[in-house]
Amino acid sequence: MKSFASDNYSGIHPEIFDAIQNANYQHEISYCDDTFTSETNQIFEKIFGKLVVLYAFNGTGANVICLKCCTLPFQAVICSDMAHILIDECGAPTQSIGCTLLPIATPNGKITPELIAPLLKGVGNVHHIQPKVISISQSTEMGTVYSLQELKNLCQFAHSNGLYVHLDGARISNAVASLGVSIKVATVDCGIDIMSFGGTKNGLMMGEAVLIFNDKLNENAHYYQKQSAQLFSKNRFIAAQFSALLSNDLWYRMASHSNRMAKFLENQIKELPGVKITQSVDANALFVIIPNHVIPPLRSKYTFYEWDSETHEQRWMCSFDTTEEDVFGFVKTLKELL
């Protein structure tokens, strides 16, 4: 099956697979006290400076740990109305933290200080929930990427209003490759307090890292990880994957490739009559409206998701292993159907 459905349809990059095998030769101390985890923590520290690193099986778990570190049950998380934490995590953050999510309508997935300001009116009023965190996704659920200036403005606004900034980095590698700067410059240097660093969507078998930059958020993090059922006794197999991902620029090679394939697809289709690209193609996803009659036959050959059932906007996503031939084949089928 060839797919443009999601970057988690793809498999495991061979260098990651090798890393898992290489971690499989000896006994190691369990629960993150192994040599692989401590070596990988050091790699993270080299990249980001001083921080606390935790690991999680999946993005939902990583987000829950991050938000738990930042909030109490009477507090609230401000997020986009398309945020994965709001739409696609079955209420995990609200269920396990008890906090409220305050969604903001965001046509392109990005939230701004201007959009947040009205939500802060009840701060200090005991009858109102208290916003404590701004949660952003980078890249966003709409395939767009916050610029460095947008990130800095948001973090500055948050901190001057006593809020933390959480970054859902399920696709942070794609965003950073798109921005063309170092990962540190695109995250902690902008003022991000806590983030998830995605692995699964960029060639790992499974695994995300929680990176805590603000030491006010550390105190209970390890307990939250355990209580959220995200502490893996054989964590060496997640850590070894991150070690490979962060070595030899593998994260960058994979993410810049999937971004390039998305641009390539955009360039092949943008002039086609009846095709409307609805979002800026900043990372590895395209959002596209095509004539209704084309959708079922195209989907019978290539899997992809309908994003909006009213407008019939479709989401097409490229992975680290999407090839130019895959794109050519997809475009050829689309042209024939049009």
Ligand X SMILES: Cc1ncc(COP(=O)(O)O)c(C=O)c1O
Query: What's the rounded Cα separation, in Å, for the pair 252 and 262?
Result: 15
- Total of chain residues touching ligand X, rule CB under 6 A: 9
Site residues for ligand X, 117-136, by CB under 6 A, read: none
Query: Least distance from C-beta 85 to ligand X, angstroms?
Result: 7
Show contacts with ligand X in window 232-251 (CB under 6 A): none
Comparison of 60 and 202: residue with beta carbon closer to ligand X: 60
143 binds ligand X (CB under 6 A): no
* Binding map of ligand X across residues 43-72, x = CB under 6 A, - = no contact: ---------------xxx------------
Candidates 53, 111, 116, 170; binder of ligand X (CB under 6 A) is 170
Q: Which is nearer to ligand X, 56 or 212 (by Cβ)?
A: 56
Shortest distance, CB of residue 198 to ligand X, whole angstroms?
A: 7
- Closest CB 265 distance from ligand X, rounded Å: 19
Q: How far apart are CA 183 and CA 185, in angstroms?
A: 6
C-alpha to C-alpha distance for 278 and 107, rounded to whole angstroms: 10
Q: How far is the CB of 149 from ligand X (least distance, A)?
A: 22
Select 20 or 337, whichever has its Cβ closest to ligand X: 20
The alpha carbons of the chain give a radius of gyration, in whole angstroms, of 20
Q: How far is the CB of 25 from ligand X (least distance, A)?
A: 28
Nearest approach, Cβ of residue 86 and ligand X (Å): 10
Single residue of 34, 141, 193, 282 touching ligand X by CB under 6 A: 141
Q: How far is the CB of 136 from ligand X (least distance, A)?
A: 10
Judged by beta carbon, residue 84 or residue 236, the one nearer ligand X is 84
Contact between 282 and ligand X by CB under 6 A: the answer reads: no
**Considering only CA atoms, which of 9, 15, 8, 20 is closest in space to residue 236?**
20
Q: Is 168 a binder of ligand X (CB under 6 A)? A: yes
State the minimum distance, in angstroms, from the CB of residue 170 to ligand X: 3
Q: What angle do CA 186, 139, 194 make, to 5 degrees?
A: 55
Of the residues 5, 23, 77, 84, which one makes contact with ligand X according to CB under 6 A? 84
Contact pick of 130, 187, 200, 279 for ligand X (by CB under 6 A): 200
Nearer CB in complex with ligand X: 87/123: 87
Residue 10 lies near ligand X (rule: CB under 6 A): no
* Cβ-proximal residues to 95 (8 Å cutoff; 6+ apart), any chain: none
Select the residue interacting with ligand X from 94, 137, 187, 225 (CB under 6 A): 137
Interface residues with ligand X (CB under 6 A)?
Answer: 58-60, 84, 137, 141, 168, 170, 200
